[in-house]
Amino acid sequence: MAKKAPRRTAQRILEAALDLFNRFGEPNVSTTLVAGELNISPGNLYYHYPAKDELINKLYESYEVELNELLHASEGVRDVEDAWFFMHSLFELIWRYRFLYRDLNDLLSKNRHLETQFQLVLHNKARAIRALLTGMSRAGHLSIDERELDPLARSMVVVLTYWLNYEYVRNPREALEPGHAQGALLRGAHHTLHLLAPYLAPEQRRHLLTLSSAYAGEDQTATV
Q: What is the mean pLDDT of residues 156-181?
A: 88
C-alpha span between 219 and 194 (Å, rounded): 13
Structure confidence at residue 214 (pLDDT)? 54
Are 10 and 61 within 8 A, CB to CB?
A: no
Give residue 222's pLDDT band: very low, low, confident or very high (50, 70, 90): very low
CATH for 30: 1.10.10.60
- The answer to whether residue 220 scores a pLDDT higher than 80 is no
Range of the domain at 59: 52-222
Q: Are residues 83 and 3 in the same domain?
A: no
C-alpha span between 173 and 186 (Å, rounded): 19
CATH for 95: 1.10.357.10
H helix and E strand count, the chain: 11, 0
pLDDT digits (tens, 9 = 90+) for 60-85: 999 999 999 999 999 999 999 999 99
- The answer to whether residue 216 scores a pLDDT higher than 80 is no
The single-letter DSSP state of residue 83 is H
